[in-house]
Chain A
Amino acid sequence: SAVISQKPSRDICQRGTSLTIQCQVDSQVTMMFWYRQQPGQSLTLIATANQGSEATYESGFVIDKFPISRPNLTFSTLTVSNLSPEDSSIYLCSVEAAGLNTEAFFGQGTRLTVV
């Protein structure tokens, strides 16, 4: 299993500003995943972050809006830039136990409210 620490747990930000979310894992992992969970909605994958290379973004998500850093095998950050009220969501960091029975482990999430 993996223990994921994510911070901040919540924040209220002004529109036009940015928020950087940190994700720390207690073990080295190759891939880290960032999800968005809009209120009452499912989890949508934003991007996959591989250490030492640029993140891979899903359709509808772009690097300028969601820059990601992955400086080492236990840490990643997601920045949500130029905030608008539509960015109000829960953002979740995740890692996977790769193999035949894939299990995703999640941080507790960051609840972002944009005012």
Chain B
Amino acid sequence: QQQVKQSPQSLIVQKGGISIINCAYENTAFDYFPWYQQFPGKGPALLIAIRPDVSEKKEGRFTISFNKSAKQFSLHIMDSQPGDSATYFCAAIPVYSGGYQKVTFGTGTKLQVIP
């Protein structure tokens, strides 16, 4: 019940194309959904995040779409660039109850953007 399922495992996109990564969860206690970007040899870094009270959040070329009823959310990278080539993790965090929250990570998607 604590899992977050992520797909695809890997993705190859042409430069300028749209990259789409999908995640699904079961636990309705999750209340905050960040996406992390990880380059080789680096730790993950927060990219963008969303709460379930909105259906979409956009920051530059990155957009999260959220479907609360389906318990699914996705990351869209518009005009994908070779510099976007990285591994992307979705994550889910329970309702804030004070203190520190356990982050549940998806399985990761390795994105390669080819020129």
Interfacial residues, chain A to chain B (CB-CB below 8 A) = 4, 6, 9, 30-31, 40-43, 45, 48, 92, 94, 96, 98-109, 111
Contact check, B41 vs A108: say whether CB atoms are below 8 A apart: yes
Could you give, for residues 88-99 of chain B, a 1 whenever the CB lies within 8 Å of some chain A CB and a 0 otherwise?
A: 010101001001
Of A6, A30, A92, A106, which is within 8 A of B100 by CB?
A30
**A92–B41 alpha-carbon span in the complex (Å):** 11
Q: What is the minimal beta-carbon distance from B26 to any residue of chain A, in angstroms?
A: 16
Interfacial residues, chain B to chain A (CB-CB below 8 A) = 6, 32, 34, 36, 41-46, 49, 89, 91, 93, 96, 99-103, 105-108, 110
**A41–B49 alpha-carbon span in the complex (Å):** 21
Residue from A98, A102, A106, A109 whose CB has the most chain B CB atoms within 10 Å: A102
**A25–B96 alpha-carbon span in the complex (Å):** 24
**A92–B42 alpha-carbon span in the complex (Å):** 10
